Amino acid sequence: MTVIVPIHGTKAIADQAPERVGVLLVNLGTPDSADTKGVRDYLREFLSDPRVIENQGIVWKLALNGLILRTRPARKARDYQKIWNNEANESPLKTITRAQSDKLAATLTAHDHIVVDWAMRYGNPSMRSRIDALVAQGCSRLLVVPLYPQYSAATSATVCDQAFRVLSEMRAQPTLRVTPPYYRDAAYIDALANSITSHLATLPFEPERIVASFHGMPQAYINKGDPYQSHCIATVDALRERMGLDDKRLMLTFQSRFGFDQWLQPYTDKTIEQLGKDGVRRLAVVMPGFAADCLETLEEIAQENAEIFMKNGGQQFAAVPCLNDSDGGISVIRQLVLRELEGWL
């Protein structure tokens, strides 16, 4: 004989609020202050990561502590001072990432059990502090969102490393997910194309060339299997197709090289210098690998490389803003987040 036992708690269980889900946006990092000490503290943490500088042996440590951290911070502090958000006393990267978090949260109000926060991989607010804060708010599930469209071990992977490091010290861990790179996601490519087109329409000139500049990486890292270069190429290929441009009109380059090793080529500064010498007079530069404007876009491209172009014959130069906290930029992040939260909402 079969006995059917009624489950009296079914409605109560169904009426329970869903588990809280934490969404953590993570960008690279920033000094806490635009002075020598602030930059030195930031560079020490950044350059001590074996994902960034893989050979952390005695020679590197001597170079880092004996030369780099003695000379580079003062120079980079002057660069940060050129772009610093003096009103908030913070870098533009911090200002923009906070705005991205706030605006993303505002688009997710229908899901009142989602808690959105932001962190920096290096510097503050630290990933540890924000993961702890999300857990303290009752988030038993955590989605980490590395704000890097193109994957590399030196960016995306080190975010994962730090998330796992924080969780390794927890007895009661939240369930963890990490969003994948979105280097050829249709929403991302559309947002880039629309942003570029809209900005170029505001210029008093039409650029003869558009340079898509990505952060560089040692060639040796690619030789070991890092997919970063192929992701950058795929982004530019998709953007060319979307905008109807060929490889002459929309060029791919790499910026921000450091040290004496060979980095990914062609180099942005050398390319821009040569374009000026070759008679190009009107140039625009876009930076699709950066989700938010920062030192590398606002100072290195918009100021240093603009000067290089002008000194070599150029006449008109424009740096196209990153997606930042624009409607298009937030839409990309929102779609990425909702896709990866399927099954949790």
- Does 146 sit behind a cis peptide bond, omega within 30 degrees of 0 on the bond before it? no
Q: How far apart are CA 131 and CA 167, in angstroms?
A: 9
E strands, the chain, are 20-30, 114-123, 139-146, 175-178, 209-215, 250-255, 282-286, 316-319
| 296 carries a ligand binding annotation | yes
Whose tokens are 């080529």? That residue is 265
Tokens 């000094």 correspond to what residue? 31
Distance of CA 48 to the CA centre of its chain: 19
Q: Cβ neighbours of residue 156 under 8 Å, at least 6 residues apart?
A: 146, 148, 181
**How far apart (Å, rounded) are the C-alpha atoms in residues 308 and 292?**
23
CB 301 within 8 A of CB 79: no
| Adjacent-strand bridge partners of 212 | 252, 286
Pairing of strands 282-286, 209-215: parallel
Closest among 183, 179, 201 to 342, alpha carbons compared: 179
- CA angle 150-102-242, nearest 5°? 35
Burial 132-157 (b: 16+ CB within 10 A, else e): ebbbeeebebbbbbbbbbbbbbbbbb
**Tokens at 75, concatenated:** 């120079």
Alpha helices in 218-267, H assignment, sequence order: 219-223, 228-243
Distance CA(283)–CA(209), nearest Å, equals 5
| Residues contributing to the annotated binding site | 215, 296
| Residues contributing to the annotated binding site for Fe(2+) | 215, 296
